[in-house]
Chain A
Amino acid sequence: MTALALPVPPPATLRRRASDLLYTRRGLLLMALLAPPLLWFGVIYLGSLFALLANAFFRLDDFTGQVVREVGFGNFVALLEAANLDAARRSVAMAIAVTLACTGLALPLAYYMARHARGTQKALLYIAVMLPLWSSYLVRLYAWKLLLAKEGAISWVAERLHATWVLDAVLSVPLIGGPSLSFSTLGTFIVFVYMWLPFMVLPVMAAIERIPASTLEASADLGARPARTLRHVILPLALPGIAAGSIFTFSLTLGDYIIPQVIGDSTLFIGQVVYRQQGVAGNLPFAAAFSLVPIVVIGIYLWLAKRQGAFDAL
């Protein structure tokens, strides 16, 4: 082979020495990589959360409109007022209802996708489920505003089916009805379900896919009819997936204030209270305190979900 003129030894540049140092001291490399993100998250994100927590204990001076930085529990006492408790209860009830509805709707689709769809059809269905996630949240909300409007598509369909009286009857039910579908709790419920459904379908489908076909065959083989197999075999095994999906549906519903504001009637949800208090009312400390409520509720829910194996199914 022809001789080669290689630079020998390699020049001891700053870059070379830095590289040597980082190679032999792996800890140093790790710190160098982690410093910027940790600084950002530590200072900005954790710092903000700390500011939130601190503000929850401060109070607003009614006279000056300024935040008084003294630790007190006034906000938490105020949380127990009827109106606020109502908002909290309403939000939790809605979150649970939405989760149940999403589960009910997701199960047939997830089961079909996991066990019956093949090849192109399966890929198509998968994209069909992902597609809404890729579209803008507000636009999807707006779409329902159009559908639910008094003069919108749903009313038109009801008219065609001569079922307008059904619509009116439903709307006059006190707790869930309202002036029109697009200003009612029922409407809010429908929109929530629509929004978060993909979040439930995906983990449930993954969980059902993991059930070996032999298990279902064994169940049928041992004499169980489909409904029984569903109840005793499929549902329990799909539960981690349902729990995982429910984390999304529950916490997303609990914290959302836009959908109730756009579609709902004048009853308030947690998110709306928080938003109004920090904005228009200028009562940041109370808003901060109130926002701790969903955090606590979600924390409890996450703990319950973890016990059901949700984190393994994510």
Chain B
Amino acid sequence: MRSEAGFGLRAAAWGVVLFMHVPMAMIVLYAFSAEDKSYVFPPPALTTQWFGVAWGRDDVWAAIELSFSVAVWSTAIALLLGTLAAAALARAKFFGRDVISLLLILPIALPGIVTGIALRSAYHTLEIPFSFWTIVIGHATFCVVVVFNNAVARLRRLSPNLIEASMDLGADGFQTVRYVVLPQLGSALLAGALLAFALSFDEVIVTTFTAGQQTTLPIWMLQELIRPRQRPVTNVVAVVIVALTFIPIVLAYTLTRSDEPAHR
């Protein structure tokens, strides 16, 4: 099995890659389509006018603002909880450690619908009305594991000698955290925060169960999918969403590339 693959294999492989990417290319194309009543292909003409129209839509801006605030708060909470959990679990061996890891993963591992309806049930039973915070609570919960994974990966690479050396040289626990641990963790936490932000910004399933009447950007998008109002505006917003969630993820990836096991 040397480096020369048969034509069939190569065709199949690249075919699958094409399958995975053509749809997104379509989105970009449609954002410039001049047609405003249907999804006709090929687009009759290309124009940038819809970008301007989308800019003027208040409901889009409101949705963006809500998604943004929710993402910021969820990320902040996830950062705090995820870092604490990572500090506890990275090296210590104690009874129940695997159980806690599982617990942190569960919100993402179980289908969104389960997490969504669980929260819904809780809110209903406790008679908590839908609000900004009901959304944030849900998002923070499944964002914790994203921060946790990044922090643990970095902490595991941190030589324990560094902490011992710092203490040996006269720094107490808190000083050691401030001068040695946090600077080492820094980029991993940033990556985790970026990923958490993107995850929260893009999340729709759990949000539909916990938002009530509020409209985040994904919910806005979903409503457009079911009952299109102004198709071209939707196309434009789609491209914007891709940019807004894509960039943090790419940044996070470049920040933690060295943490991956080196086998690529």
Do A and B interact directly, with beta carbons closer than 8 Å? yes
Given A136-B202, A139-B221, verify A294-B111 contact (CB < 8 Å).
yes
Does A86 make an interface contact (CB < 8 A)?
no
Chain B residue with the shortest CB-CB distance to A190: B19
Q: Are A298 and B111 in contact (CB under 8 A)?
A: yes
A: interface residue count bin: 35 or more
- Which of A77-85, A170-178, A235-243, A271-279 contacts the other chain? A271-279
Given A108-B16, A118-B3, A143-B27, verify A52-B41 contact (CB < 8 Å).
no
Cα distance, A198 to B5, chains bound together (Å):
22
Chain A contacts for B110, CB-based, 8 A: 251, 255, 295, 298
Which B110-148 residues have C-beta < 8 A from chain A? 110-115, 117-122, 124-126, 137, 140-141, 144
Does B57 make an interface contact (CB < 8 A)?
no
B: interface residue count bin: 35 or more
Q: How far is the CB of A75 from chain B (nearest CB, A)?
A: 13
Does B222 make an interface contact (CB < 8 A)?
yes
Mask: chain B, 3-30; 1 = CB below 8 Å from A; 0 = not: 1110001101100110111111011001
Chain A contacts for B246, CB-based, 8 A: 134-135
Q: Are B3 and A67 in contact (CB under 8 A)?
A: no
Does B184 make an interface contact (CB < 8 A)?
no
Chain A contacts for B170, CB-based, 8 A: 10
Does A131 make an interface contact (CB < 8 A)?
yes
- Which of B47-55, B58-66, B68-76, B234-242 contacts the other chain? B234-242
Chain A residue with the shortest CB-CB distance to B231: A146
Does B245 make an interface contact (CB < 8 A)?
yes
Question: Total A-B pairs in contact (CB under 8 Å)?
Answer: 257
Cα distance, A262 to B23, chains bound together (Å):
16
Cα distance, A51 to B209, chains bound together (Å):
14
Cα distance, A65 to B13, chains bound together (Å):
55
Chain B contacts for A192, CB-based, 8 A: none
Cα distance, A123 to B254, chains bound together (Å):
13
Does A161 make an interface contact (CB < 8 A)?
no
Cα distance, A91 to B64, chains bound together (Å):
33
Does B46 make an interface contact (CB < 8 A)?
no
Q: B85: which of A37, A49, A130 is its contact (CB, 8 Å)?
A: A37
Does B192 make an interface contact (CB < 8 A)?
no
Q: Are A197 and B20 in contact (CB under 8 A)?
A: yes
Cα distance, A16 to B171, chains bound together (Å):
10
Chain B contacts for A151, CB-based, 8 A: 38-41
Q: Are A149 and B208 in contact (CB under 8 A)?
A: no
Chain B residue with the shortest CB-CB distance to A133: B249
Chain A contacts for B23, CB-based, 8 A: 140, 143-144, 146-147, 194
Other 16 A-B pairs with CB < 8 A, given A116-B1, A135-B246, A255-B114:
A33-B87, A45-B103, A108-B12, A108-B16, A115-B5, A123-B264, A136-B218, A138-B218, A146-B30, A149-B38, A194-B23, A209-B263, A258-B205, A262-B225, A271-B113, A288-B117
Task: Give the interface of B toward A (CB within 8 A).
Answer: 1, 3-5, 9-10, 12-13, 16-17, 19-24, 26-27, 30, 38-42, 80-82, 84-85, 87-88, 92, 94, 100, 103-104, 106-107, 109-115, 117-122, 124-126, 137, 140-141, 144, 167, 170, 172-174, 198, 202, 204-205, 208-209, 218, 221-222, 225-226, 234, 238, 241-242, 245-246, 249-250, 253, 263-264
